[in-house]
């Protein structure tokens, strides 16, 4: 048992109190956690990272997604740094989005460890929108990568990061453009994900916001969710992905717009069976400054 683990046990026993049985339960819980295991991350190419970035909505009644190129650049730099082969699809209709995921599912991933999919777009109630304003279901994007349709990804993590709204409600601070159908200095990327929870093993679906709520994008700095995700993937490299997303939740939940009224809470859902831990690469990505490996 490592010194760090011993300290964790000691502190937890002290906090929980007096009963000897508490200590035994804490030790057992820590041992169970350490036995979860990790998905293999040993391939020369970690996997494919598909980024669908919809910016130009001039063919619909929706507003342009200003600031999304900042997100694309950060995601590209970070996932290349982590060893992924990045593929970008720009300004896709709903049919083109679905086609890109079907094409990804037909590829041979046998020499890779996992796959990452990022969608940056407007959205609504369990869907993301093509540039013509027509929806495609998130579940339809995950289906081509499941074990039945893509055998080379069986028992490998399939990681989805969705920057889009999940409705039109705004979370308010208790004491800014949204990706939906309206916009201002902070914009909304207006999706409810009831029908989007992963049904197959080894999926992760990280949504930028809770069901029924909007997701914010700054025109000059990108989205709150993607920027925090990229920063924490760098700063917490070597940590498991769920811990990283928990830190993203904490960071984004603390943010407000300039008026201190608008809030956002990301939501990860997953059917992972092991920890996802990316090996620590050399150097740091171009678009982010790596400050520390400690959150």
Confirm whether 122 is a catalytic residue. Answer: yes
Q: Please, which residues have CB within 8 angstroms of residue 117's CB and are 6 or more apart in sequence?
A: 49, 50, 52, 101, 104, 141, 145, 158, 159, 160, 161
Confirm whether 118 is a catalytic residue. Answer: no
Catalytic residue among 49, 109, 122, 150: 122
* Pairwise CA distance, residues 33 & 35, whole Å: 5
Instruction: Determine the straight-line distance between the first and last CA of the chain, rounded to whole angstroms.
Output: 23
Catalytic residue among 49, 165, 183, 187: 165
The tokens describing 286, both together, are 């171009």
- Catalytic residue list: 122, 165
């Amino acid at each position: 048992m490592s010194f760090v683990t011993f300290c964790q046990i000691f502190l937890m026993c002290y906090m929980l109190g007096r009963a000897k049985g508490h200590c035994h339960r804490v030790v057992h819980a820590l041992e169970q956690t350490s036995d979860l295991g990790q998905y293999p991350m040993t391939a020369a190419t970690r996997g494919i990272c598909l980024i669908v970035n919809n910016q130009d909505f001039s063919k619909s009644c929706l507003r342009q997604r200003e600031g999304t190129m900042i997100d694309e650049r950060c995601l590209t730099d970070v996932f290349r740094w982590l060893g992924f082969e990045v593929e970008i699809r720009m300004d896709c209709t709903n049919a083109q989005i679905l086609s890109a995921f079907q094409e990804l599912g037909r590829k041979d991933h046998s020499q890779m460890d996992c796959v990452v999919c990022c969608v940056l777009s407007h959205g609504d109630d369990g869907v993301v929108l093509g540039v013509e304003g027509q929806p495609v279901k998130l579940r339809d994007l995950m289906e081509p990568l499941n074990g039945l349709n893509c055998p080379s990804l069986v028992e490998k993590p399939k990681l989805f990061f969705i920057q889009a709204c999940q409705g039109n409600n705004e979370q308010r601070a208790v004491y800014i453009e949204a990706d939906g159908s309206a916009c201002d200095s902070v914009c909304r990327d207006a999706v409810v994900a009831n029908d989007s929870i992963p049904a197959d093993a080894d999926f992760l679906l990280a949504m930028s916001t809770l069901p029924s709520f909007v997701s914010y994008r700054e025109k000059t700095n990108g989205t709150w969710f993607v920027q925090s995700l990229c920063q924490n993937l760098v700063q917490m490299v070597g940590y498991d992905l769920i811990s990283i997303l928990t830190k993203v939740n904490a960071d984004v939940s603390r943010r407000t717009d300039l008026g201190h009224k608008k809030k956002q809470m990301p939501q990860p859902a997953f059917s992972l069976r092991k920890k996802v831990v990316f090996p620590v690469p050399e150097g740091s990505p171009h678009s982010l400054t790596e400050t520390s490996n400690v959150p």
